[in-house]
Structure 1
């Protein structure tokens, strides 16, 4: 719901606009009346309607090598690699973020910032089953045992926090849950897929989900807040979070998995401890296993109270909408 006091007609520079989340952010920001500068690596992949929309300026840029960027009110940084390869993460996430920040700070009037971070930056080593994850939860202290994506997002956060603090600029740091919606239902918090089988690790604990339209709404609200000089750290999560059993019951309507093999979390945790987290698979490393599979709850109170975010619908309604378009590839 729009608030009359919200700034209208901002000039937003958006990276990662061609991605799954980015296209929804573009749509919602246009509806809200903002003008957009889209930094994209390959303009030929942009929707054709962007070329004829006078509110959109498309700029071709490789963020890892960008030197200058157009003037804007707020930079909304969505671009990040999803690759598990450390070198790719370093270039396309960390180095790209550094280049973008340097270029943004060189403009005549440096902008406010919105960073699309991830719930993966939190550590769970010191948490107990049933604990709630909030913005006060400590960040991962054993990142060397986590995946390259987690390490890169931690690196992004450090770069943004340092740059914004040094320059005295507003920063909205949004830690977004596992983004889902039509065409993207699977997430890494369910277990291990092998052919028609899912090895389900535990049944309890909420899944830290963020529907694509919910996440886009949060990013648009964050950009408007940053333009007003407001900074903050916000966990972006749906209000209606299913536990693993509830999610899997709905997900199986896709036709996968055909078989479910339950693996108690305690067994996996014991195996990871016995092997000293030396085995190759990420879920056999204690920090990764606990971050993804420890039964936890999640709060979005800051999102609702601080940004005025409202959920569009509950889990079952959103899942029902997504299911006809969902295919699963294991």
Structure 2
């Protein structure tokens, strides 16, 4: 791993959940920031002379040229702009078209790229319960469109990585787990609501959580470090679903009523449904169920710790910090 050098950190999606944390971490380290946002800048940036704002819709026809012109000679770019849901149209626009803009801009003004990808690109159909998800885990097959993958979000992130492969030759692909933090204390891998009752699917197995502050530290360090590399980013202290429920209820007071269904029992029920499951919500579909709920382990590598350091606090400590900062 190369030496760290001081430079300007350009951040796409700087108004977003991960982008805001990256801006804050860069400024904490005294690094100048080019904050690229589709909408108006955050009010707290107004008094910070170290933040330059570029209002730019990355899906516009002239966006690549404008982004290239705005990048300083010594810069690294953290690409955090993307659609977080499963809407095919928004994924095509806000993830794929926006990433094509970044690729084209970096062809004109080469800069180190740090891509915020996702653990969703891994093919959990190739894993068995209890196994470890690592950077060596096979990826989902390359889809022709996001909608043709296991789920549209996973397909878009898989295609995004391929689209930016050229720009990542001296860059970093970070694959965080489920990113959580202030304003986003809950996560989608716990189960589902049935009216006022929350149903947890399986209480054992690690949750692949990644606190947004840990992700930001890894991204800012990667931006200052020569690559290339692909690194999973998980919290070191990864709770089970049962432990997560206890901590969240203690800090936030909910869910008030919870029941747990063993993963094996739910998976067996989903398997019995067969072809009918394709017309039902994702947790009834075996591939999506495995991706979201199968009990696995998520070890961090030494390289992850060299980029992001150790956890700031224990899981319960991070949950308490998250609540206090809201």
1:156 aligns with 2:160: yes
Matched, 1:18 2:15: yes
* Match in the other structure for 1:205: 205
Of 279-288 and 298-307, more deviation after overlay is shown by 298-307
Which position in structure 2 is the counterpart of 1:47?
42
Q: Alignment partner of 2:113: what SS?
A: strand
Deviations 1:230-268 (A, max 9, x none): 210000111100011111111123222222232221222
Question: Measured at CA, do residues 41 and 231 of structure 1 come closer, stay the same or move farther in structure 2, by a change above 3 Å?
Answer: same
Alignment correspondent of 2:256:
258
C-alpha distance in 1, partners of 2:323/2:49?
Answer: 35
> Does the aligned pair in 2 maintain the 1:11–1:35 contact within 8 Å?
yes
CA shift, 1:301, in A, is: 1.3
Unaligned runs of 5+ in 2: none
2:102 — aligned with what? 100
Distance 2:255 2:221 in 1: 37
Match runs of 1:61-210 below 5 Å: 61-65=56-60, 66-68=63-65, 69=67, 70-72=70-72, 73-107=75-109, 110-141=110-141, 144=148, 146-161=150-165, 163-164=166-167, 169-210=169-210
Tell me the TM-score normalized by structure 2: 0.89
CA contact (8 A) 1:218 1:303 kept: no
Deviation at 1:84, TM superposition (A): 2.2
Q: Which runs of 5+ in 1 are unaligned?
A: none
> Residue 153 of structure 1: SS of its match in structure 2?
helix
Could you say which residue in structure 2 is the equivalent of 1:287?
287
SS of the residue corresponding to residue 139 of structure 1 reads coil
Per the alignment, residue 58 of structure 1 pairs with 53
Paired positions, count: 310
Distance across 1 between alignment mates of 2:321 and 2:305: 27
Root-mean-square deviation (CA), in Å?
Answer: 1.9
Which residue of 31, 35, 39 corresponds with 1:34?
31
